Structure 1
């Protein structure tokens, strides 16, 4: 269920997410990695941002193959998002929120990134892209059509 999210603390948290995501730009792409500057895949970027905000990751990551979504058939990425993040309506997504993508209709979602500019005007995405690394790129219409869900990070507790 999508939850409404709009408060000063939410905006502060989104800004912190975005600032941390930008620190990862230039990190080379490395499957299953999550080390800023050394290597990361898209999930590794999300994991690194979580660690920066919350400390330890909420669960240990099992090894996964590059074709995990095609062979597994489960919505593993969406299930984890719903377990650890707060799902929001796509229209409510703001810079600093997480977007999850489905490469093809009927296939499980397989890619994540951080929205870095509003969806309503020249949207952009920070994500780890295979053979490229962590980049900030335009969120073009062909990518926008592939968005499967949007999430925001939970509140940071002291």
Structure 2
């Protein structure tokens, strides 16, 4: 078992890690999947998600790889039931979810994305809320 606070504290140690496609090394580089998997690793072990993906896979692939990877290892929850430390999946248009983040205290997100060029913590704005597709709870997190 681990606490939501411990997970968020670990996730925050990744702040400023540069965005780098397919990477997952704190302080060196990561993308959104690499960040979420890397911050969870000390608590839940590996979260298996296919890592051989192009930067633009979400533009032309219909299979929900990210969703299936999290569903295999985590508990899917209702998006109205999210709490600090839960994993959120986002998508745009009709394609599959292609971005992930952690919920942080006070209604925030911590995530890594290309436009920010690093792991950042920011508000869970209406723009992000409109793109929310799925939510997951890591196994072993205390409620």
TM-score by length of 1: 0.82
- Structure 1 unmatched ranges of 5 or more: 1-8
State the partner residue of 2:103: 115
Greater C-alpha radius of gyration: 1
Q: Deviations over 1:43-67 (max 9, x none)?
A: 0011102212134x14374321001
What pairs with 1:58-73 in structure 2 (closer than 5 Å)?
58-59=47-48, 61-73=50-62
Distance 1:142 1:59 in 2: 28
Q: Is the 8 A contact 1:70 1:108 kept in 2?
A: no
Q: Is the 8 A contact 1:24 1:45 kept in 2?
A: yes
Q: Is the 8 A contact 1:98 1:112 kept in 2?
A: yes
- Structure 2 unmatched ranges of 5 or more: none
What pairs with 1:23-62 in structure 2 (closer than 5 Å)?
23-55=13-45, 57-59=46-48, 61-62=50-51
C-alpha RMSD of matched pairs (Å) = 1.7
Residue 128 (structure 2) pairs with residue 143 (structure 1): yes
Aligned residues: 140
